[in-house]
Structure 1
Amino acid sequence: MAEAAFHLICGSTGAGKSTYAQALASDLGGLHFAIDRWMVTLFWQDSPQPIEFDWTMARIDRCEAMIFETAKQAVSIGVPAILDLGFTKSAHRQKFAKLAAEAQIPVVLHVLDVPVEERWARVEGRNANKGDTYAMEVDRSMFDFVETMWELPDAVEMNALNGLLVRA
């Protein structure tokens, strides 16, 4: 089994984060924590329509707090934690890196870098097929919204977080 660590999986919508995270969890003998599955299971049936940003973010924060605590327990018994939480923004990645450092947990950042046209085609396919990584419908406006938030890690961040660039 690999060294127990937090593996932060990041990339924009359609980059293949969930597929990659599932494979990594299998390869490392780790646990895969997918924010989309937590949100859909715990909150989506009660969500306001149309979706409200503040309502959603409050619940994501709660899920992430529980994911962190559970992932920390996994690492404490030698099980790698694969965190598939989007990590679209540098501040989000830094928050988890800081929590990990405080808990003396190593971090590895996995960055999936895929061209936008290919990512949108993947999202359309996922919407149509509703396969293993499907959690909810992502329309073009949602895709474009997340695209405005995506921050590709720079060299400093990659170095600080033991970054691996993945061409998925």
Structure 2
Amino acid sequence: MIALIVGSTGAGKTTYSKKIGESWPGVVYSIDNWMKNLYGQDMPKDPPSNWYYENQEWYVDRIERCQNQIRELTLEGALKGYNAILDLGFTTKDHRKSFIDFFSKHGVSTEIHYLNISIEERKRRVQERNSTKGETFVMTVDDTLFDYMESIFEPPSEDEGAGIRTIE
């Protein structure tokens, strides 16, 4: 079984992924960790949000490389009977559907875990994460970046080809 962890910025996807990775059990693949470990040294330390806009092509290209590798590793494990938890953002329906269809084509079932957390709580969490720079901190998310992510986020729906487990 493959779990796609879905939620807008500040929903707690990484924290939730770690938690269910221990109890489920399953291998957790977090895009933030991959990007930080593979490409963090190629970026400014804690860049301002405009850096991501100005370098979007560079950044998106590397995210796609990581996701392609994660997808292959996840499939390899799933075909051997291992569970996986994918903490890859899954902001849009098309992004989720591409993974769901890929795994389905190989006979591997998927489930969406949707973290449906209020915008007020998510903003509070992001502000706290920005100030404490704790375990799940990867980058500063300012209001501009938060609002941008909010504008492109598409909540999951039943027509995506996977069951949905909603966490409030």
Shared fold (TM-score greater than 0.5)? yes
Q: Which amino acid aligns with 2:38?
A: L
Question: Per the alignment, in what secondary structure is the counterpart of residue 163 of structure 2?
Answer: coil
Please list, as runs of the form range in 1=range in 2, the aligned pairs for 1:126-137 lying within 5 A after superposition. 126-137=129-140
Specify which of 20, 27, 40 is matched with residue 23 of structure 2: 27
Q: Which amino acid aligns with 1:161?
A: A
Q: Which digits, 9 at most, give the CA deviation of each residue in 1:56-75, with x for residues without a partner?
A: 11111000001011111221
Question: Per the alignment, in what secondary structure is the counterpart of residue 43 of structure 1?
Answer: helix
**Cα deviation, residue 104, structure 1:** 1.1
Is 1:65–2:51 an aligned residue pair? no
How many aligned residue pairs are there? Answer: 161
Instruction: Judge conservation of contact 1:40–1:136 (CA < 8 Å) in 2.
Output: no
Q: Which digits, 9 at most, give the CA deviation of each residue in 1:88-145, with x for residues without a partner?
A: 1000000000110112110011111111111010011111222222222212211111
Please list, as runs of the form range in 1=range in 2, the aligned pairs for 1:45-84 lying within 5 A after superposition. 45-47=41-43, 50-51=51-52, 52-84=55-87
* TM-score, normalization by structure 2: 0.90
**Cα deviation, residue 155, structure 1:** 3.5
1:120 corresponds in structure 2 to 123
1:16 corresponds in structure 2 to 12
Instruction: Judge conservation of contact 1:9–1:111 (CA < 8 Å) in 2.
Output: yes
Q: Percent identity?
A: 37
1:39 corresponds in structure 2 to 35
Instruction: Judge conservation of contact 1:32–1:83 (CA < 8 Å) in 2.
Output: yes
Q: Which amino acid aligns with 1:162?
A: G
Q: Which runs of 5+ in 1 are unaligned?
A: none
Moved more, 147-156 or 81-90: 147-156
Q: Give the Cα separation in 1 of the matches to 2:133 and 2:22.
A: 21
2:165 corresponds in structure 1 to 164
Question: Per the alignment, in what secondary structure is the counterpart of residue 155 of structure 2?
Answer: coil
Q: Give the Cα separation in 2 of the matches to 1:69 and 1:154.
A: 25
